[in-house]
Structure 1
Amino acid sequence: MKQIKSLYRRLLLPLLGGLALTACEKDNGEETRISEFGPYKKEIIAPWKGGTGSIPVLANQPYDIELINPDNGWLTLDTEGRGTHFTGDDYFKFQATTNDGFPRMEGIRLWTHNRADTVYIKQEGFITPKLDFSTRSIMVLGDGGQATAQLSTNLELEDLRQSIVYTSADEGGWISDLDISNGFLILQTDPNADPEALRNARITLS
Protein backbone atom coordinates (compact mmCIF):
# COMPACT_ATOMS: atom_id res chain seq x y z
CA MET A 1 0.00 0.00 0.00
CA LYS A 2 2.86 2.41 0.86
CA GLN A 3 4.47 1.65 -2.52
CA ILE A 4 1.25 2.59 -4.35
CA LYS A 5 0.97 5.94 -2.49
CA SER A 6 4.60 6.75 -3.21
CA LEU A 7 4.11 6.01 -6.91
CA TYR A 8 0.95 8.21 -6.94
CA ARG A 9 2.90 11.18 -5.50
CA ARG A 10 5.68 10.80 -8.10
CA LEU A 11 3.11 10.86 -10.93
CA LEU A 12 1.14 13.82 -9.51
CA LEU A 13 4.04 16.26 -9.09
CA PRO A 14 5.07 16.41 -12.80
CA LEU A 15 1.41 16.89 -13.73
CA LEU A 16 1.05 19.94 -11.45
CA GLY A 17 4.22 21.44 -12.92
CA GLY A 18 2.73 21.21 -16.38
CA LEU A 19 -0.41 23.08 -15.28
CA ALA A 20 1.64 25.92 -13.78
CA LEU A 21 3.54 26.39 -17.05
CA THR A 22 0.32 26.61 -19.05
CA ALA A 23 -1.09 29.32 -16.77
CA CYS A 24 2.07 31.41 -17.21
CA GLU A 25 1.78 31.27 -21.03
CA LYS A 26 -1.85 32.47 -20.87
CA ASP A 27 -0.89 35.51 -18.75
CA ASN A 28 1.73 36.56 -21.32
CA GLY A 29 -0.83 36.35 -24.12
CA GLU A 30 -3.25 38.69 -22.37
CA GLU A 31 -0.62 41.45 -22.43
CA THR A 32 -0.66 41.63 -26.26
CA ARG A 33 -1.60 45.14 -27.37
CA ILE A 34 -4.74 45.52 -29.52
CA SER A 35 -4.24 47.38 -32.82
CA GLU A 36 -6.81 50.14 -33.43
CA PHE A 37 -7.21 51.94 -36.74
CA GLY A 38 -10.07 53.28 -38.84
CA PRO A 39 -12.17 56.35 -39.73
CA TYR A 40 -15.22 57.08 -37.58
CA LYS A 41 -17.40 57.07 -40.73
CA LYS A 42 -16.82 55.27 -44.03
CA GLU A 43 -19.19 57.50 -46.05
CA ILE A 44 -19.95 61.22 -45.83
CA ILE A 45 -22.63 63.12 -47.79
CA ALA A 46 -21.61 66.67 -48.74
CA PRO A 47 -24.19 69.30 -49.85
CA TRP A 48 -24.17 70.53 -53.45
CA LYS A 49 -23.25 74.04 -52.23
CA GLY A 50 -19.89 72.70 -51.05
CA GLY A 51 -18.01 73.63 -47.90
CA THR A 52 -15.74 72.01 -45.32
CA GLY A 53 -16.24 68.71 -43.53
CA SER A 54 -14.36 66.91 -40.75
CA ILE A 55 -13.35 63.23 -40.61
CA PRO A 56 -12.38 61.83 -37.16
CA VAL A 57 -10.00 58.84 -37.10
CA LEU A 58 -9.49 56.36 -34.28
CA ALA A 59 -5.91 55.04 -34.19
CA ASN A 60 -3.19 54.02 -31.77
CA GLN A 61 -0.50 54.01 -34.47
CA PRO A 62 0.87 56.35 -37.17
CA TYR A 63 -1.01 56.62 -40.46
CA ASP A 64 -1.07 58.59 -43.72
CA ILE A 65 -3.89 59.94 -45.88
CA GLU A 66 -4.27 60.79 -49.57
CA LEU A 67 -6.95 61.43 -52.21
CA ILE A 68 -7.51 58.45 -54.50
CA ASN A 69 -7.86 60.85 -57.43
CA PRO A 70 -5.91 64.02 -56.54
CA ASP A 71 -6.83 65.60 -59.90
CA ASN A 72 -10.60 65.33 -59.32
CA GLY A 73 -10.94 69.14 -59.43
CA TRP A 74 -13.56 69.55 -56.69
CA LEU A 75 -12.32 67.93 -53.47
CA THR A 76 -9.15 68.84 -51.56
CA LEU A 77 -7.71 67.81 -48.18
CA ASP A 78 -7.39 70.49 -45.51
CA THR A 79 -4.95 69.30 -42.82
CA GLU A 80 -4.42 72.80 -41.41
CA GLY A 81 -0.73 72.80 -42.27
CA ARG A 82 0.00 69.49 -40.50
CA GLY A 83 0.77 67.52 -43.66
CA THR A 84 -0.70 64.10 -44.45
CA HIS A 85 0.98 62.06 -41.68
CA PHE A 86 -0.86 61.59 -38.37
CA THR A 87 -0.29 59.72 -35.10
CA GLY A 88 -3.03 58.52 -32.74
CA ASP A 89 -6.67 59.62 -32.50
CA ASP A 90 -7.06 62.74 -34.66
CA TYR A 91 -9.11 64.28 -37.45
CA PHE A 92 -8.61 65.95 -40.80
CA LYS A 93 -10.81 68.15 -42.96
CA PHE A 94 -11.81 68.24 -46.60
CA GLN A 95 -13.00 71.12 -48.79
CA ALA A 96 -15.62 70.58 -51.53
CA THR A 97 -16.47 73.13 -54.23
CA THR A 98 -20.00 73.93 -55.41
CA ASN A 99 -21.50 71.19 -57.57
CA ASP A 100 -23.83 72.66 -60.19
CA GLY A 101 -24.02 69.34 -62.06
CA PHE A 102 -24.83 65.72 -61.20
CA PRO A 103 -23.90 63.97 -57.91
CA ARG A 104 -20.26 62.89 -57.69
CA MET A 105 -17.96 60.85 -55.46
CA GLU A 106 -14.31 60.80 -54.39
CA GLY A 107 -12.34 58.54 -52.06
CA ILE A 108 -9.76 59.30 -49.37
CA ARG A 109 -7.32 56.49 -48.58
CA LEU A 110 -5.89 55.98 -45.09
CA TRP A 111 -3.12 53.48 -44.39
CA THR A 112 -0.62 52.26 -41.80
CA HIS A 113 2.35 49.92 -42.27
CA ASN A 114 0.02 46.92 -42.51
CA ARG A 115 -3.59 48.15 -42.72
CA ALA A 116 -5.64 50.39 -45.03
CA ASP A 117 -9.12 51.89 -45.17
CA THR A 118 -11.12 54.30 -47.35
CA VAL A 119 -13.58 57.13 -46.71
CA TYR A 120 -15.95 58.03 -49.57
CA ILE A 121 -17.18 61.61 -49.98
CA LYS A 122 -20.45 61.68 -51.93
CA GLN A 123 -21.54 65.17 -52.95
CA GLU A 124 -25.11 65.95 -53.88
CA GLY A 125 -25.67 67.63 -57.24
CA PHE A 126 -27.71 70.67 -58.19
CA ILE A 127 -29.13 68.56 -61.05
CA THR A 128 -31.02 65.37 -60.18
CA PRO A 129 -30.35 62.53 -62.67
CA LYS A 130 -33.39 61.23 -64.57
CA LEU A 131 -33.57 57.87 -66.32
CA ASP A 132 -36.88 56.24 -67.19
CA PHE A 133 -38.24 54.21 -70.11
CA SER A 134 -41.84 55.04 -71.05
CA THR A 135 -42.47 51.35 -71.80
CA ARG A 136 -40.79 48.21 -70.52
CA SER A 137 -40.84 46.26 -73.80
CA ILE A 138 -40.68 46.86 -77.56
CA MET A 139 -41.09 44.61 -80.61
CA VAL A 140 -38.52 44.76 -83.41
CA LEU A 141 -38.82 43.48 -86.98
CA GLY A 142 -37.41 40.07 -87.86
CA ASP A 143 -35.69 41.66 -90.86
CA GLY A 144 -33.52 43.68 -88.48
CA GLY A 145 -32.66 47.35 -88.76
CA GLN A 146 -33.09 50.33 -86.45
CA ALA A 147 -35.33 50.18 -83.40
CA THR A 148 -36.20 52.86 -80.85
CA ALA A 149 -37.51 53.03 -77.29
CA GLN A 150 -38.75 56.28 -75.76
CA LEU A 151 -36.48 57.34 -72.91
CA SER A 152 -36.68 60.24 -70.46
CA THR A 153 -33.18 61.19 -69.29
CA ASN A 154 -30.88 64.15 -68.82
CA LEU A 155 -27.77 61.95 -68.97
CA GLU A 156 -25.39 61.24 -71.81
CA LEU A 157 -24.87 57.66 -72.95
CA GLU A 158 -21.18 57.77 -71.95
CA ASP A 159 -22.28 58.51 -68.36
CA LEU A 160 -24.35 55.31 -68.21
CA ARG A 161 -23.47 51.69 -67.70
CA GLN A 162 -24.88 49.53 -70.49
CA SER A 163 -25.84 45.88 -70.18
CA ILE A 164 -27.40 43.60 -72.82
CA VAL A 165 -28.51 40.15 -71.65
CA TYR A 166 -29.88 37.72 -74.25
CA THR A 167 -32.64 35.73 -72.57
CA SER A 168 -33.65 33.29 -75.34
CA ALA A 169 -31.91 30.20 -76.72
CA ASP A 170 -30.24 32.04 -79.62
CA GLU A 171 -26.51 32.81 -79.63
CA GLY A 172 -27.07 36.50 -78.92
CA GLY A 173 -25.03 39.37 -80.27
CA TRP A 174 -27.81 40.66 -82.54
CA ILE A 175 -28.15 44.09 -80.85
CA SER A 176 -25.54 46.81 -81.45
CA ASP A 177 -24.84 50.56 -81.75
CA LEU A 178 -26.78 51.86 -78.75
CA ASP A 179 -27.29 55.63 -78.75
CA ILE A 180 -29.48 58.27 -77.10
CA SER A 181 -30.99 61.06 -79.20
CA ASN A 182 -34.04 63.35 -78.93
CA GLY A 183 -35.65 61.40 -76.09
CA PHE A 184 -35.10 57.93 -77.57
CA LEU A 185 -32.79 55.00 -77.07
CA ILE A 186 -31.74 53.99 -80.57
CA LEU A 187 -30.28 50.59 -81.42
CA GLN A 188 -29.52 48.37 -84.39
CA THR A 189 -30.69 44.76 -84.72
CA ASP A 190 -29.49 42.00 -87.05
CA PRO A 191 -31.99 39.92 -89.07
CA ASN A 192 -33.43 36.85 -87.36
CA ALA A 193 -32.12 33.82 -89.28
CA ASP A 194 -34.89 31.61 -87.86
CA PRO A 195 -38.30 33.17 -88.71
CA GLU A 196 -40.06 30.53 -86.58
CA ALA A 197 -38.15 31.37 -83.36
CA LEU A 198 -38.88 34.38 -81.16
CA ARG A 199 -35.77 35.82 -79.61
CA ASN A 200 -35.55 38.12 -76.60
CA ALA A 201 -33.03 40.38 -74.88
CA ARG A 202 -32.94 42.73 -71.91
CA ILE A 203 -31.20 46.10 -72.12
CA THR A 204 -30.30 47.81 -68.85
CA LEU A 205 -29.02 51.36 -68.46
CA SER A 206 -27.87 52.50 -65.03
Structure 2
Amino acid sequence: MIYRIVFFLFFITLSCKNEKKNKIVTQHNPFEHINQTLENEKAIELFYNAKKEIEKGNLEIASLLLEKSLDFEKNPIILNELGIIFFSEKRFEQALIVLNQSILIDDKYYPSYINKSRVQILQNDLKNAETTLNKMLKKCTSDYWISYANMYLAHITTKKETIDCEKGINYLKKAEILRSEPELIPQLNGISEALKINCG
Protein backbone atom coordinates (compact mmCIF):
# COMPACT_ATOMS: atom_id res chain seq x y z
CA MET A 1 0.00 0.00 0.00
CA ILE A 2 1.30 3.42 -0.89
CA TYR A 3 1.01 6.01 1.83
CA ARG A 4 0.40 9.51 0.67
CA ILE A 5 1.17 12.51 2.83
CA VAL A 6 0.62 16.17 2.58
CA PHE A 7 3.37 17.63 4.67
CA PHE A 8 6.01 20.28 4.82
CA LEU A 9 7.89 22.06 7.55
CA PHE A 10 8.24 25.62 6.64
CA PHE A 11 9.03 28.79 8.51
CA ILE A 12 7.31 32.11 8.51
CA THR A 13 9.34 34.29 10.85
CA LEU A 14 10.24 37.63 9.32
CA SER A 15 13.49 37.58 11.26
CA CYS A 16 15.18 34.20 11.23
CA LYS A 17 17.96 35.12 13.62
CA ASN A 18 18.24 31.93 15.60
CA GLU A 19 20.58 32.05 18.58
CA LYS A 20 20.02 28.49 19.82
CA LYS A 21 22.34 25.92 18.31
CA ASN A 22 20.62 23.08 16.42
CA LYS A 23 17.24 24.74 16.69
CA ILE A 24 15.00 24.72 13.63
CA VAL A 25 13.34 27.99 12.73
CA THR A 26 9.70 28.55 13.69
CA GLN A 27 7.44 26.63 11.32
CA HIS A 28 3.98 26.92 9.88
CA ASN A 29 2.23 23.94 8.33
CA PRO A 30 -0.90 24.77 6.31
CA PHE A 31 -1.47 21.19 5.14
CA GLU A 32 -4.71 22.01 3.38
CA HIS A 33 -2.93 24.36 1.00
CA ILE A 34 -0.48 21.79 -0.39
CA ASN A 35 -1.33 19.32 -3.15
CA GLN A 36 2.00 17.51 -3.41
CA THR A 37 2.61 14.23 -1.60
CA LEU A 38 5.26 11.65 -0.81
CA GLU A 39 4.48 8.19 -2.13
CA ASN A 40 7.45 5.88 -1.62
CA GLU A 41 7.14 4.02 1.69
CA LYS A 42 10.86 4.08 2.48
CA ALA A 43 11.07 7.79 1.63
CA ILE A 44 8.15 8.47 3.97
CA GLU A 45 9.75 6.44 6.79
CA LEU A 46 13.04 8.32 6.46
CA PHE A 47 11.23 11.64 6.18
CA TYR A 48 9.34 11.12 9.43
CA ASN A 49 12.46 9.86 11.17
CA ALA A 50 14.10 13.11 10.08
CA LYS A 51 11.20 15.03 11.56
CA LYS A 52 11.73 13.29 14.89
CA GLU A 53 15.41 14.22 14.83
CA ILE A 54 14.51 17.83 14.04
CA GLU A 55 12.26 17.90 17.10
CA LYS A 56 15.23 16.69 19.18
CA GLY A 57 17.47 19.36 17.67
CA ASN A 58 19.59 16.82 15.80
CA LEU A 59 19.72 18.72 12.54
CA GLU A 60 22.80 16.98 11.17
CA ILE A 61 21.20 13.56 11.59
CA ALA A 62 17.93 14.90 10.16
CA SER A 63 19.67 16.23 7.04
CA LEU A 64 21.37 12.85 6.48
CA LEU A 65 18.01 11.09 6.75
CA LEU A 66 16.46 13.50 4.28
CA GLU A 67 19.32 12.94 1.84
CA LYS A 68 18.75 9.18 2.13
CA SER A 69 15.05 9.76 1.57
CA LEU A 70 15.91 11.46 -1.72
CA ASP A 71 17.55 8.21 -2.88
CA PHE A 72 14.09 6.64 -2.85
CA GLU A 73 12.05 9.58 -4.10
CA LYS A 74 13.15 12.84 -5.66
CA ASN A 75 10.46 15.05 -4.21
CA PRO A 76 10.12 18.82 -3.67
CA ILE A 77 8.79 18.28 -0.14
CA ILE A 78 12.01 16.57 0.95
CA LEU A 79 14.21 19.13 -0.78
CA ASN A 80 12.27 22.00 0.76
CA GLU A 81 12.69 20.49 4.21
CA LEU A 82 16.40 20.04 3.64
CA GLY A 83 16.59 23.67 2.55
CA ILE A 84 14.97 24.73 5.81
CA ILE A 85 17.58 22.83 7.81
CA PHE A 86 20.39 24.48 5.85
CA PHE A 87 18.67 27.84 6.37
CA SER A 88 18.45 27.20 10.11
CA GLU A 89 22.18 26.42 10.15
CA LYS A 90 22.90 29.59 8.13
CA ARG A 91 24.23 27.48 5.26
CA PHE A 92 22.54 29.82 2.81
CA GLU A 93 24.23 28.74 -0.42
CA GLN A 94 23.39 25.09 0.22
CA ALA A 95 19.84 26.09 1.08
CA LEU A 96 19.52 27.87 -2.26
CA ILE A 97 20.88 24.86 -4.14
CA VAL A 98 18.30 22.43 -2.75
CA LEU A 99 15.43 24.92 -2.95
CA ASN A 100 16.27 25.51 -6.62
CA GLN A 101 16.27 21.73 -7.12
CA SER A 102 12.86 21.55 -5.47
CA ILE A 103 11.48 24.18 -7.84
CA LEU A 104 13.06 22.42 -10.82
CA ILE A 105 11.31 19.16 -9.92
CA ASP A 106 7.96 20.84 -9.33
CA ASP A 107 7.57 24.51 -10.17
CA LYS A 108 4.18 24.55 -8.48
CA TYR A 109 5.44 23.59 -5.05
CA TYR A 110 5.08 27.09 -3.72
CA PRO A 111 6.74 26.74 -0.27
CA SER A 112 10.10 26.37 -2.00
CA TYR A 113 9.71 29.78 -3.66
CA ILE A 114 8.77 31.34 -0.33
CA ASN A 115 11.74 29.77 1.44
CA LYS A 116 14.11 30.70 -1.39
CA SER A 117 12.97 34.31 -1.11
CA ARG A 118 13.54 34.20 2.67
CA VAL A 119 17.12 33.08 2.16
CA GLN A 120 17.63 35.86 -0.37
CA ILE A 121 16.14 38.44 1.98
CA LEU A 122 18.50 37.41 4.77
CA GLN A 123 21.37 37.70 2.31
CA ASN A 124 20.08 41.20 1.54
CA ASP A 125 19.59 40.05 -2.06
CA LEU A 126 16.30 41.90 -2.18
CA LYS A 127 15.92 42.27 -5.95
CA ASN A 128 16.36 38.54 -6.50
CA ALA A 129 13.97 37.80 -3.63
CA GLU A 130 11.39 39.96 -5.37
CA THR A 131 12.07 38.17 -8.67
CA THR A 132 11.63 34.78 -7.00
CA LEU A 133 8.24 35.76 -5.58
CA ASN A 134 7.07 37.29 -8.85
CA LYS A 135 8.02 34.10 -10.73
CA MET A 136 5.90 32.16 -8.27
CA LEU A 137 2.97 34.53 -8.74
CA LYS A 138 3.01 33.96 -12.51
CA LYS A 139 2.44 30.24 -11.93
CA CYS A 140 0.28 30.32 -8.83
CA THR A 141 -3.50 29.85 -8.87
CA SER A 142 -3.89 29.43 -5.11
CA ASP A 143 -5.32 32.47 -3.32
CA TYR A 144 -3.52 31.35 -0.18
CA TRP A 145 -0.05 31.23 -1.72
CA ILE A 146 -0.66 34.40 -3.72
CA SER A 147 -1.37 36.10 -0.40
CA TYR A 148 1.74 34.55 1.13
CA ALA A 149 3.94 35.89 -1.67
CA ASN A 150 2.39 39.32 -1.30
CA MET A 151 3.16 39.31 2.42
CA TYR A 152 6.85 38.82 1.69
CA LEU A 153 6.79 41.32 -1.16
CA ALA A 154 5.34 43.83 1.30
CA HIS A 155 8.11 42.95 3.74
CA ILE A 156 10.74 43.70 1.07
CA THR A 157 9.28 47.18 0.56
CA THR A 158 9.97 48.00 4.23
CA LYS A 159 13.73 47.53 3.81
CA LYS A 160 15.69 50.77 3.58
CA GLU A 161 17.23 49.74 0.25
CA THR A 162 13.85 49.05 -1.35
CA ILE A 163 11.35 51.30 0.46
CA ASP A 164 8.23 51.74 -1.64
CA CYS A 165 5.21 52.87 0.33
CA GLU A 166 2.63 52.55 -2.43
CA LYS A 167 3.72 49.06 -3.44
CA GLY A 168 4.01 47.96 0.17
CA ILE A 169 0.49 49.06 1.03
CA ASN A 170 -0.91 47.35 -2.07
CA TYR A 171 0.97 44.11 -1.37
CA LEU A 172 -0.21 44.10 2.23
CA LYS A 173 -3.84 44.53 1.14
CA LYS A 174 -3.44 41.46 -1.07
CA ALA A 175 -2.16 39.48 1.92
CA GLU A 176 -5.09 40.25 4.22
CA ILE A 177 -6.69 36.79 3.95
CA LEU A 178 -3.72 35.49 5.93
CA ARG A 179 -5.16 37.19 9.02
CA SER A 180 -7.33 34.10 9.34
CA GLU A 181 -4.12 32.32 10.41
CA PRO A 182 -3.23 33.32 13.99
CA GLU A 183 0.45 32.40 13.46
CA LEU A 184 0.77 35.01 10.72
CA ILE A 185 -0.91 37.96 12.44
CA PRO A 186 2.29 39.15 14.21
CA GLN A 187 4.17 39.19 10.90
CA LEU A 188 1.39 41.07 9.13
CA ASN A 189 1.18 43.56 12.00
CA GLY A 190 4.94 44.01 11.94
CA ILE A 191 4.90 44.85 8.24
CA SER A 192 1.99 47.23 8.76
CA GLU A 193 3.84 49.05 11.55
CA ALA A 194 7.01 49.27 9.47
CA LEU A 195 5.05 50.81 6.59
CA LYS A 196 3.51 53.36 8.98
CA ILE A 197 6.95 54.32 10.27
CA ASN A 198 8.46 54.57 6.80
CA CYS A 199 5.54 56.19 5.07
CA GLY A 200 3.86 58.27 7.77
Larger Rg belongs to: 1
- TM-score, structure 2 as length reference: 0.20
Question: Which structure's residues are more often helix, by fraction?
Answer: 2
- TM-score, structure 1 as length reference: 0.20
Question: Which structure's residues are more often strand, by fraction?
Answer: 1
